Structure 1
């Protein structure tokens, strides 16, 4: 008979909301999916439970008496930093969502929520939390086992590479093919600047030539790497590299990928952060633009106006501000509805 498998541990979830009916509905929904659920009727009780038990995930409302959701998030970060946070709130303003994400929330769900969407979000976050913990465990074992190191290189989600003294690629794993489109063999022996975007060549080259770079003080930088077949298409990567003694890893070439036989001098990992950079750019755009018309909002207008006023005073010049108004726009909203008014605003901005 095959050996009996141990059952997977049940995820423990804390649900904190001061509305009894909504909290009980949410808890019932999660229990039916097989999760172990603990309920808290407010922020103070949620903080107490976080200090007494261990939770894989906490679903928090933001507007709670005594201690609000942001205060509970701070307490969770202090006593249970591994506990994931998902905000379930009726607050939908950009500033609130942005603040919650900055405080460590992994996702944000607006009330009223769709049950299937909420369950999918919970399972997705728990899956990510599990992957993060697994990665941290692997990193610890990597220091103790050379054999495990080769296994991690072979299955790594990042590009793992080694460079010789001159900066030529002497090993790169197969991940470079799925992320950038290059076959590892065609990169073997080429200088690493072959992959760098022209705008980052000087910075990337200088990073490895820095006199203070070492295994204890690795160099980390964000650069753009070119994809195969297009000089303009790039992806953003966070690269961490450091020099090492090649005698300490005599079997480095046994990892899957391409090894040129050259004496490796630098070891590095390139992590794809394109989605993060795009998300940061989108959040920055939202902060300074109107999402309906895509035009600069009041905050950006005020910033540019103050800058123009300062320059005009410095250069002893005059400044003009043009104001455009739509006549009888309120009539359109009142007679045809706000949806048609929004379409009119969008049409005007395209002219």
Structure 2
């Protein structure tokens, strides 16, 4: 690509146009090049007379060539050009008129002065008719000769200047026409009544319309039908200068009768352009106003820019995964619907939908399959909605639904029922069938709020209430839910403060060996003593911590305090003391969890095999490959792993084959049902069989009666914990028991 600078403007010339540009503007015959020296050819058969003329006329800015005959003169003229030829009429081989005939036949520019002794009128008229600028008779006065030569050279200089100006004008016109015709912009002019008087060739590639068919046609032939009104004033612009129309966006219609139309498709029938137009006026003599002669316009194709702007705007208001409106667009539509509902005194509903156990899907099948599930869920939700409803993705696995113009609250119930019916068929995820469920909360305007934020928040509160009461159903917002929600938020804030102030502490529940008839270990249990509310049960604050990142801080606190205490016991009254502590499934999302536990154990000198981590069955299904790897790394560091609440969740037998766990813990729900007859409790017997079959240690929790002790002993469970033996107590109380045992 080449560039051309004209009056400070830079024009880019494509490769195929470069040769055309060179043809138009690089021809040496198109630009006159003149020397600063005047060259004069003297043709005189009298040598002395010729030399005297040269001596008389010679100056620094003149050069002379002398020849004595017509033949030699023609040879010089063929070889070069001269400014002036001083030509004798009578020459040995012909008259000077033959030289003038030669010059005229070749359209040569040289000026000619004839010098002759002939005094006939025919000679004078013959010379002047053939283009001589003067005729001098011999003998002549020197001043007369000088004057004639000076006058002839001035005429030559004037003709040269005129030719140079004409050449520049021709070249400028060609350049202007080339730039206009080769422009990527559409350039056209209109007559005063709005008809096309000129249009460049760009119209053919941009709109697919032959330019010759457009000349004389009204400008409406170019415009998209919907833009006729808006384009009227811009197309018939009369203003000039800073008041003229600039960057007016219009649409031009595309024809489909020509090949090679840029970007033409049946669904892309118009081109968006930015139009700059101004009026054209003929000059005046000062007494009459200027006469309007038409409109000059330049249209630039901005279709790509408009598509980019539309794409950016779309992405700003839509979810990229599902193509649904995002929370910003949803809130805008909700605000509009609220205003309409207020004017019409009607109802509208907001639904907050959360996909149950979505994290488990991501962890088990990968994020690509999780995205597939979200897309499939969005598709099914849309099937349940009316034409004017809006489904939006709030983010993650959360969706919101706007239900405007409800005749009654029952309409929202009908749609909720349709959603749960639509979700009954399974999804195909990761090559297997998956049944997806949702928790759904509903708020109603104006009953539950008058603003978009209130309605979304209260639908969210209702959804959370469903989450905490079993999932897979829907619920309308109730005022008491708000109080519970605020209580939860307050408790979350106070829990963060408790962590910062180190208000959490540990209690220890002993584990009793029936065979050795003594305490062989303890389980560390986290406790929170609120400075105002007193003791807050773990069942209240642990779920809150699980839903936030606070669980990590709590686990760090438990690991630190438990290891410090175990190290103190092992250095004091009981070297073989064992301790177990609980970790959340979310702790296994942390890349540093193994090192955090192991380094803390090393810091306090914990003996290998005496520290045990308790994990739930759900942890094994939660990102199974990663959890398995971390369990092995813990075992490699001398840290045991126990499956807590075994039998309450999904079957973990397949995992027991490949996971290096140490022990199984029988859940208290099974223990509480035990009596003297073990045969009546097949689950406990089955768990005992599994532990014995895999060579795992077995612990029972929640033991409260002697009958339960006997029943567990009967199935081979030696280690137990529960209120029958001891409630959770402080570290000091455990230390005192260990001291007394040592004394005994």
| TM-score normalised according to structure 1 size | 0.52
Q: 2: distance between equivalents of 1:297 and 1:231? A: 27
Q: 2: distance between equivalents of 1:329 and 1:291? A: 19
Pick the aligned partner of 1:167 from 167, 178, 194: 194
SS at match of 1:166: coil
Distance 1:137 1:209, change over 3 A: closer
Aligned to 1:259: none
Aligned to 1:297: 326
Distance 1:345 1:193, change over 3 A: same
User: Contact 2:192–2:236 (CA<8 Å) still a contact in 1?
Assistant: no
Distance 1:187 1:276, change over 3 A: same
SS at match of 2:251: strand
User: Contact 2:231–2:250 (CA<8 Å) still a contact in 1?
Assistant: yes
What does 1:116-265 correspond to in 2, within 5 Å? Answer: 137-138=9-10, 148-209=175-236, 213-220=239-246, 221-229=248-256, 233-245=269-281, 265=294
User: Contact 2:237–2:295 (CA<8 Å) still a contact in 1?
Assistant: no
Q: Describe the superposition over 1:45-89 as per-residue Cα deviations: whole angstroms up to 9, x where unpaired.
A: xxxxxxxxxxxxxxxxxxxxxxxxxxxxxxxxxxxxxxxxxxxxx
Aligned to 1:251: none
Aligned to 1:40: none
Using the TM superposition, give the Cα deviation of residue 197 of structure 1 relative to its aligned residue in structure 2, in angstroms. 0.6
Distance 1:227 1:208, change over 3 A: closer
Using the TM superposition, give the Cα deviation of residue 185 of structure 1 relative to its aligned residue in structure 2, in angstroms. 0.7
User: Contact 2:250–2:272 (CA<8 Å) still a contact in 1?
Assistant: yes
| TM-score normalised according to structure 2 size | 0.25
Q: What 5-or-longer segments of structure 1 have no aligned partner?
A: 1-126, 140-144, 249-262
Distance 1:331 1:136, change over 3 A: farther
Using the TM superposition, give the Cα deviation of residue 152 of structure 1 relative to its aligned residue in structure 2, in angstroms. 1.7
- State the aligned residue count: 203
Using the TM superposition, give the Cα deviation of residue 304 of structure 1 relative to its aligned residue in structure 2, in angstroms. 1.6
Q: Describe the superposition over 1:103-145 as per-residue Cα deviations: whole angstroms up to 9, x where unpaired.
A: xxxxxxxxxxxxxxxxxxxxxxxx9xx9899997159xxxxx6
Q: 1: distance between equivalents of 2:319 and 2:227? A: 32
Aligned to 1:286: 315
Q: Describe the superposition over 1:276-302 as per-residue Cα deviations: whole angstroms up to 9, x where unpaired.
A: 000110000011101011100011111
User: Contact 1:208–1:219 (CA<8 Å) still a contact in 2?
Assistant: no
Q: Describe the superposition over 1:210-257 as per-residue Cα deviations: whole angstroms up to 9, x where unpaired.
A: 66x224422131111111126971010111111113579xxxxxxxxx
Aligned to 1:36: none
- Say which structure, 1 or 2, has more relative contact order (CA 8 Å, 6+ apart): 1
SS at match of 1:160: strand
SS at match of 1:167: coil
Q: 2: distance between equivalents of 1:215 and 1:171? A: 21
User: Contact 1:246–1:265 (CA<8 Å) still a contact in 2?
Assistant: no
- Larger CA deviation: 228-237 vs 293-302: 228-237
Using the TM superposition, give the Cα deviation of residue 179 of structure 1 relative to its aligned residue in structure 2, in angstroms. 0.9
RMSD of aligned Cα (Å): 3.1
Q: 2: distance between equivalents of 1:197 and 1:203? A: 10
Q: 2: distance between equivalents of 1:153 and 1:273? A: 19
SS at match of 1:243: strand
